[in-house]
Amino acid sequence: MRISDKQKQMLAFIETFVGKNGYPPTHEEIRAGLKISTKSLVNYHLEALAGASLLSRSPNTPRGIRLANEREPFTVPLTSSPMLLDNSADFDEQDVVELTCDIVSNTPDLYALKVQGDSMMDALVNDGDIVIIQRQNQAKNGELVAVRLLEQDCTTLKHYYRENGHVRLQPANPTLEPILVKPTAVQVEGKVMAIIRQVS
């Protein structure tokens, strides 16, 4: 079944929205985002997309749109890097992790990090787990992030806090002390979006 240019535009809008937010848009968000005059027109185009098997809809659900390819697997590069102060390896194109969108939205700025060490065990991040990281160079207080310590040239996984003129990298292990550094001594590499647990 052929779809119109407007319907292709709507499908692209929904895919982008889901990729950015992790959930589908409401009819009103579609209407406003695409500058469509009425919700009935939104419904018409959604019905056409559903008829073309490009999405499915749950009646009486505000965010009841599901893309047909939403659960198709995708891969992200995997690197092995300790949580403590060991050098992180470069990405190997042969090492990848397969994911689906019910774990994390498929965006081009994701990578997987294999955890070594127990500094975040109270955050339920254990040795051997795999964390999915979204590349970004800023962090909010309390976020679990991968941070590069520039002087040591190493990456660590910690809760990030910026306070009193310095950065505190807080482990989730009561036996370990926080790392206190100047803001210029660290570089945020990404935020943890998901954890894949390894069962021994």
- Which residue numbers are catalytic? 119, 158
105: Cβ contacts below 8 Å, ≥ 6 apart: 18, 19, 20, 21, 22
CB count within 10 Å of CB 159 equals 20
DSSP string, 40-51: HHHHHHHHHHHH
- Tell me the backbone φ, ψ of residue 32, rounded to 5 degrees: -70, -40
Q: Which residue has the tokens 């073309």?
A: 52
Which one-letter amino acid corresponds to residue 108? P
Residue 135: beta bridge partners?
Answer: 190
Q: What is the 3-state secondary structure (H, E, C) of 148-164?
A: EECCCCEEEEEEEEEEC
Nearest to 149 by CA among 163, 133, 160: 160
Give the helix ranges, DSSP H, for 22-78.
Answer: 27-34, 39-51
- Return d(Cα 137, Cα 193) in angstroms, integer: 15
